Amino acid sequence: MTRAQAPGKVILAGEHAVVYGRPAIAVPVWEAVATAEVRNGAAGAGCVIYALDLGKTIRLADAPHDDPLALVARLALRRAGLADDPDWRIDIASDLPIAGGLGSGAAVSAVLVRAILLHAGMEPAPELVSELTYAGEEVHHGTPSGIDNTVVAYGQPVWFVRGEPPAIFACAAPFRIAIADSGATGPTRAMVDQVRARRAADPARYDRWFDEIGEIVQAARQALEAGQPVELGPLFDRNQALLAQIGVSTPALERLMAAARAAGAGGAKLSGAGGGGNIIALVEDEAVEPVRAALLAAGAKRVLVTTVAA
Ligand code: MEV
């Protein structure tokens, strides 16, 4: 049996603007993960993927071509030099919310790729895992920037600019963020499409907002490299104000952020595509429990607290 894991992710700054060439920073979240296990099955059984958390059982021999998991599985098998349909049973589990902004689709694809390569005796290099995961993301999302597959494949903080190799990002001092799930879904493709349509109607205004987001991302990098993560708080708030202007926030998300700030968070923003999904809040040690309690009281379905280290 071969077992593999991939983390969820949050975007610290830069979502949406990253689709239009501005930088973004994303970090892995190991408190919510996807796992895959591969076992050799009976001769002639073919390759079957059981993804019960997604409500899916995929028999590779007759899966449709546009099924993202079947697509990445076939690509990974091919890279490993195997026939399309080995007699393998693959079990995938994920505790990441679907369309929740934590990179669930990318994590599930990445863990499938990693497990297949490992079971075939190959080293699952992050570049390769990221490349094959991106193929699945394209089916899900149309024109993803590539940030989600990158951070879940590398499992480390990344500085990402579309079309450029990712830079693994060094944070000089660790910090904590609370991640609160609104319980509402915000499908990435729909949110990215909505922003594209609104930008098409007023490109100058949107590009100005995207430039401002890019400046916030630069400032966030400087703060992290200087060991001053406390400066992230106001940057989260400024980034959130711009995300609200581009139309991807919701009253439920705003309620969660207001509750976190009132309970002592240094700043808060939505993370991912918005329209639902998760918010993140910067929390010093003494604020962790008050912020967690305030988020749950304000309607969060789940609160995770993660420590971001170098
Ligand atoms: C989704 O996690 C992040 C977006 O910027 C879309 C993308 O980068 O492809 C909203």
CATH code, domain carrying 78? 3.30.230.10
Q: Residue 268 pairs with which residues in a beta bridge?
A: 281
Choose the final residue of a domain: 168, 196, 216. Answer: 168
Angle at 242 between CA 238 and CA 248, to 5 degrees: 130
> How far is it, in rounded angstroms, from Cα 85 to Cα 259?
51
Do 152 and 188 lie in one domain? The reply is no
Position 100 confidence tier, pLDDT thresholds 50, 70, 90: confident
Position 99 confidence tier, pLDDT thresholds 50, 70, 90: confident
Q: Which atom of ligand 1 sits closest to the CA of residue 271?
A: 2
Do 180 and 304 lie in one domain? The reply is yes
Do 238 and 113 lie in one domain? The reply is no
Tokens 């390769």 belong to 128
Do 202 and 232 lie in one domain? The reply is yes
Do 162 and 24 lie in one domain? The reply is yes
Q: Is the CB of 271 under 6 A from ligand 1?
A: no
Closest-CA residue to 95 (of 7, 2, 183): 7
Q: List Cβ neighbours of 187 (8 Å cut-off, separation of 6 or more).
A: 99, 273, 275
Q: By the 8 A CB rule, do 71 and 148 touch?
A: no
Dihedral Cα 15, 185, 246, 243, nearest 10 deg: -50
User: Ligand 1 centroid vs 135 CA: distance in angstroms?
Assistant: 15
pLDDT in the model for residue 143: 84
Choose the final residue of a domain: 168, 194, 215. Answer: 168
Q: Is the CB of 13 under 6 A from ligand 1?
A: no
Q: Is the CB of 217 under 6 A from ligand 1?
A: no
Do 156 and 57 lie in one domain? The reply is yes
User: Ligand 1 centroid vs 174 CA: distance in angstroms?
Assistant: 25
Choose the final residue of a domain: 153, 168, 183. Answer: 168
pTM for the full model?
A: 0.95
Q: Is the CB of 16 under 6 A from ligand 1?
A: yes
Q: Which of 133, 138, 147 to mutate to test the pocket of ligand 1 (most atoms within 8 A of CB)?
A: 147
For residue 149, the enclosing domain spans 2-168
Q: Which atom of ligand 1 sits closest to the CA of residue 16?
A: 5
* Residue with CA at minimum distance from ligand 1 atom 9: 144
Q: Is the CB of 18 under 6 A from ligand 1?
A: yes
pLDDT in the model for residue 84: 77
Give tens-digit pLDDT for 195-218: 999 999 999 999 999 999 999 999
Do 7 and 97 lie in one domain? The reply is yes
Do 145 and 226 lie in one domain? The reply is no
Q: Is the CB of 76 under 6 A from ligand 1?
A: no
Do 185 and 75 lie in one domain? The reply is no
CATH number at residue 274: 3.30.70.890
Q: How many domains does the chain have?
A: 2
Do 250 and 192 lie in one domain? The reply is yes
Position 187 confidence tier, pLDDT thresholds 50, 70, 90: confident
> How far is it, in rounded angstroms, from Cα 165 to Cα 125?
14
* Residue with CA at minimum distance from ligand 1 atom 10: 273
Q: How many residues are recorded in the chain? A: 310
To the nearest whole number, what is the mean pLDDT of the chain? 95
Position 83 confidence tier, pLDDT thresholds 50, 70, 90: confident
* Residue with CA at minimum distance from ligand 1 atom 2: 272
Q: Is the CB of 306 under 6 A from ligand 1?
A: no
Closest-CA residue to 181 (of 272, 282, 309): 272
Q: Is the CB of 150 under 6 A from ligand 1?
A: no
Do 62 and 26 lie in one domain? The reply is yes
Do 102 and 194 lie in one domain? The reply is no
Give tens-digit pLDDT for 11-20: 999 999 999 9
Helix, coil or strand: residue 1: coil
Percentage of the chain with pLDDT > 70? 100
